[in-house]
Amino acid sequence: DAKTTQPTSMDCAEGRAANLPCNHSTISGNEYVYWYRQIHSQGPQYIIHGLKNNETNEMASLIITEDRKSSTLILPHATLRDTAVYYCIVRVEDRDDKIIFGKGTRLHILP
C-alpha cells in the first residue's frame, strides 16, 4: 500500500471546521483513500473513504485533489468529542488484506 504523510498534530476551535490534510503522492489508480479515527482508549473507527470524487457522510467530508496526490478530511462543526487521532490510509477497496496504519494526526478541539 502507498504511504501517506500527515501532520503530527493540529488544533481547532470548537464549532469551527477542522480540516485535516493528507499527502499520498504515490497512490495507485486502484487505491482508495480511507480515513479512520481513534478516540482515547478505544479502537479505530471508520469515517469515510473515496476514490477520486468528493464524498460526504454524516460524519465528515472528504476532498480529494484532481491528481489524487492529496486529500483533506473536513469535520464541518468540530465538537470536543472529535478530539482523537485521525489516520489517513490508502489501499485497494475490498482487498483481502491488512490495513497499514501510520502515526496519524492528533486533533485537539479547543473549547
Shortest spacing between CB 76 and another protein, in angstroms:
21
Tell me the three cell numbers of residue 41: 482508549
Map the footprint of another protein across residues 16-35, applying CB under 8 A.
34
Rounded to whole angstroms, the Cα distance separating 35 from 54 reads 13
Interface stretch with another protein, choices 10-18, 58-66, 72-80, 86-94 (CB under 8 A): 86-94
Q: Which residues, 6 or more positions from 13, have their beta carbon under 8 angstroms from its beta carbon?
A: 78, 109, 110
Could you give the CA distance from residue 38 to residue 69 in angstroms, rounded to a whole number?
Answer: 24
Residue 44 touching another protein (CB under 8 A): yes
* Residue ranges binding another protein (CB under 8 A): 34, 36, 41-46, 49, 85, 87, 93-94, 96-104
